[in-house]
Structure 1
């Protein structure tokens, strides 16, 4: 191979369409814009979502709901999950390593679902009132 013989791959390059350059080019006169109308004029076009003056779809439909971006930093675990975990001391790091909460989680709360029979010490993890009562009844603590 020589440097002077290097060429781009077949079909990789193609000539730009030069519109409005005479009848012989096949794209003269109206230059592929058709006849009359807003789209044929220079600078004439409409904004995204414009429906010719009709009330646009994004304004016809009702607004509904909201999802906070902060939700990705919150996580919940159940009493059943704590039971299965088989660890005496539970903190955020152990839950992340076990794959029970997401890696982005910063705030974890225990909810009162299921049952807990062994003593578990929670550090840096919140609990609902019912869950706290269940953990303390099993001999655990919530710090």
Structure 2
């Protein structure tokens, strides 16, 4: 194989459509644009979603919902994940190292889901009221 003999596979390249080049081409005169109207004119078009002056769909529908840009910095773990961790003291760096929370996370909260059978001390990690009761019942504590 030589560099000067390399060709694209058949059907990969095709000639560009040349419009407005006479009757015989099949795309002469109006060049496939039809007769008259905004779409036939040079530069005559409208923005996306324009409905001819009618109130566009995206403005007729109600606005709803909100997604905070701070969500990527917050994470939550449940009691069963905490139990499976097998550590006596848990902090944010440890959770990141194990892969339970993402690298961008700054705030972690423990939620009451699953069971906790071992004593765990949480350092710099929050907990919901229900989770706090379960952690303290198991002999653990929360340290700020």
Task: Name the stretch that deviates more: 40-49 or 20-29.
Answer: 20-29
Residue 69 of structure 2 is aligned to residue 74 of structure 1 = no
Residue 10 of structure 2 is aligned to residue 10 of structure 1 = yes
Report SS of the residue matched to 2:70: helix
Report SS of the residue matched to 1:39: helix
Unaligned runs of 5+ in 2: none
How many aligned positions are there?
A: 143
- Describe how 1:1-143 pairs up with structure 2 within 5 A: 1=1, 4-143=4-143
User: TM-score when scaled to structure 2?
Assistant: 0.81
User: TM-score when scaled to structure 1?
Assistant: 0.82
Q: Residue by residue, what CA displacement relative to the aligned partner does 1:75-97 show, whole Å, maximum 9, x if unpaired?
A: 11233432333221112233344
Residues of 2 paired with 1:58 and 1:117: CA distance? Answer: 52
Residues of 1 paired with 2:6 and 2:22: CA distance? Answer: 35
> 4+ residue runs of structure 1 moved beyond 6 angstroms?
none
Tell me how large the CA RMSD over aligned residues is.
2.4
